[in-house]
Amino acid sequence: MTDLHDLTALEQGDLVRRCEISPGELAEHYLARIERLDGPDGVGAFVTVAEERVSACARTLAVGPVGESPLFGVPTAIKDLNLTRGVRTTFGSAAFDDYVPDVSDNVALSIEAAGMISLGKTNTPEFGSPCYTEPDVAPPAVTPWDRSRGAGGSSGGAAAAVAAGLVPVAQGSDGGGSIRIPASCCGLVGFKPSRGRVSAAPMWGDPVGLSTSGPIARTVRDAAALLDVLAGPRTGDPFWAASPEESFLTACDQPPGRLRIARFATPLIAPDAVVDPEVRRGYEDASALLESLGHDVEDVPVPLPPEAVPVFETCWAVLTALSVVPPEREDRLRPLTRWLTDRGRAVSGPAFGLAIGQLRRYAAAALHALAPYDAVLTPTLATPPLPVGAIRDDADPARDFERQKAFTPWTSAWNVTGMPAVSLPLHQTPDGLPVGVMLAARPAQDAQLLSLAAQLEAAAPWHDRRPPGW
């Protein structure tokens, strides 16, 4: 017998549209699963569950007309970095453990406008900085495939929630891989849109242009449907990507044609990173699958030079330092955050401006090098998901940071260039751990990337895989 959580988000939306189930009934189904599966020994998906707000939203949707989005009435969740009016938002930090915003940001407003029901706030590390989710305000987020291993970060809670069947689809954000990393760890689709595709209003807190929100889902079509909800400019945006002629969901049903695809597996930001044999196997299998579908796959040199790495790190440290923490609460910050903040505060204004300019020149050179290709294939991560605590090092934050780079040596490249990128769960280790494979596309070609991803999913389906405890 099929349970509601076995269905895709789009299938659940179709049930709502045909009045076979109400948004409230769907929400109650997932709230019950959260209570049962995400307690103290759960997957660490949620920081805050907003049950009263869920009930009020469900009642409102029950008496109103069905909205245009195919995800109308479908439950979801919002990352704890995003402002949600009236719902506690900790930014993954004990310094904000009791903060309740009086405004919602664009992501929350877009989800609400589509008639989706947010069940609460998903777990994230402090200010979304590290690639693991082990904050002081919640238990670690773990992958449901092996609960001794981390879900990745910084959208670890969102990925754990989707992978464990606590929500059918969820929003994440990605400034250096934070959607794609947990998608790989949890066996999901994680889509980082092009720069300017999703508005960061009203805070616009990233002057470098590295970060964006995007979907985490079990299928490409579900991810595309949530991207349709999130995408679009708001007045004041510093970057924007032109809206496609058709929806991103429609793009999934269009064949991509024969594409020219570049590939490289040389670690980019950590040249000495050790790449697990299963990661290489997944990468080679994906290459063979692409060729079997008629695409031309070519090896290319790494498109960003080693000199780009310290420039990126300068920008990353300054962005961490921009987090406005009340002085009397700075002692609550994690050692890694304090270390990065100190690095960022040591950078002068002119030096920061020069770093942004230099990073954009490196990005331009990479875009020129990759311009002949429709897509780029790399692994997502250097290894399968790691044990909880394997990267974190509170006694030596510098070593912690280097371990993060070795775990994620490819993802941040596409934040630098602004290209859309997706991690797909095309491979599993012999003992069942998920291994993602990553594809990126030309800037603003999100629709073509989704078309290609949907083609791969049709050729090598993964939707029926279920983690233990499903």
Give dist(CA 449, CA 441) in Å, integer. 6
Task: Tell me whether residue 258 is exposed, middle or buried, using C-beta atoms within 10 angstroms of its C-beta: 0 to 12, 13 to 18, 19 or more.
Answer: exposed
Catalytic center residues: 79, 154, 178
What is the separation of C-alpha 103 from the centre of its chain, rounded to a whole number of angstroms?
Answer: 23
- In the chain, what are the domain boundaries? 4-459
Short-list 82, 83, 76, 21, CA closest to 54: 76
- For residues 241 and 444, the answer to whether their CB atoms sit within 8 Å is yes
What is the mean pLDDT, run by run of 10 residues, along the chain of 470 residues?
92 97 96 93 96 88 87 98 98 98 98 97 98 98 98 98 98 98 99 98 96 98 98 94 93 98 97 97 98 98 98 98 93 98 98 98 98 98 98 98 98 98 98 98 98 98 96
pLDDT given at position 67:
85
pLDDT given at position 248:
98
**What is the CATH class of 4-459?**
alpha beta
Alpha helices in 18-50 (DSSP H): 23-37
Give dist(CA 125, CA 128) in Å, integer. 5
Q: Which two tokens stand for residue 224?
A: 């595309």
CA-CA distances (angstroms) from residue 14 to 19, 30, 113, 189? 9, 17, 18, 21
Kindly report the backbone phi and psi dihedral angles of residue 427, in degrees, each rounded to the nearest multiple of 5, phi listed first.
Answer: -135, 150
CB atoms within 10 A of CB 203: 11
Give dist(CA 172, CA 230) in Å, integer. 11
| Residue 172, H or E segment | strand 169-174
pLDDT given at position 39:
80
Give dist(CA 71, CA 105) in Å, integer. 20
Give dist(CA 381, CA 182) in Å, integer. 10
Q: Which two tokens stand for residue 440?
A: 């990126």
Short-list 136, 99, 131, CA closest to 333: 136
| Residue 212, H or E segment | strand 212-217
Give dist(CA 34, CA 28) in Å, integer. 10
CB-based contacts of 286: which residues, under 8 Å, 6+ apart? 377, 424, 426, 427, 437, 456
If you compute the radius of gyration of the chain from its CA atoms, what whole number of angstroms results? 20
pLDDT given at position 1:
59
What is the separation of C-alpha 223 from the centre of its chain, rounded to a whole number of angstroms?
Answer: 11
3-state secondary structure of 231: coil
pLDDT given at position 309:
98
